[in-house]
């Protein structure tokens, strides 16, 4: 990934910032500028909590180029508390421990190594939610 593109995506990747539709209230991630629900302009930033639950998942054993160092890894559809589904790698959990409905939280982790361009890319992944101790 190019350095300028990585720079433009920082809010989305590090803080889960999407958009909210002022017309219908839909919360949108990733940002699209046009609401997929009502087709109205949606340019108001919205910061998601980063909390959600596993909706579906699969383990990748033969990764695409650039992701070999993480294999095998689990990719999940995470339903955020605010509604949208997000695709992301799961981290800090073994594949056999992942369950549909498992509470998760967003963390920032290395997404791709430096490769030929030398830019290490960080972004969001999800881990099992850490429950506060009483």
How confident is the chain (134 residues) per 10-residue block, as mean pLDDT?
52 75 92 90 90 96 83 94 94 93 92 68 88 58
pLDDT at 115: 62
Strands (E), the chain: 17-20, 27-28, 33-34, 41-42, 44-47, 51-60, 73-80, 85-89, 103-112, 121-128
């Amino acid at each position: 990934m190019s350095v300028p593109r990585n720079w433009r995506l920082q809010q989305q990747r590090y803080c889960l910032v999407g958009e909210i539709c002022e017309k219908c209230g839909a919360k949108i991630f990733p940002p699209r500028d046009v609401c997929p629900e009502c087709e109205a302009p949606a340019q108001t930033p919205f910061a998601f909590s980063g909390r959600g639950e596993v909706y579906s998942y699969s383990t990748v054993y033969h990764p695409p180029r650039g992701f070999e160092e993480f294999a095998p890894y689990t990719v999940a559809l995470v339903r955020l508390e605010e509604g949208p589904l997000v695709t992301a790698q799961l981290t800090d959990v073994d594949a056999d421990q992942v369950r549909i409905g498992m509470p998760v939280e967003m963390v920032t982790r290395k997404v791709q190594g430096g490769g030929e361009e030398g830019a290490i890319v960080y972004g969001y992944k999800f881990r099992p939610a850490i429950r506060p101790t009483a």
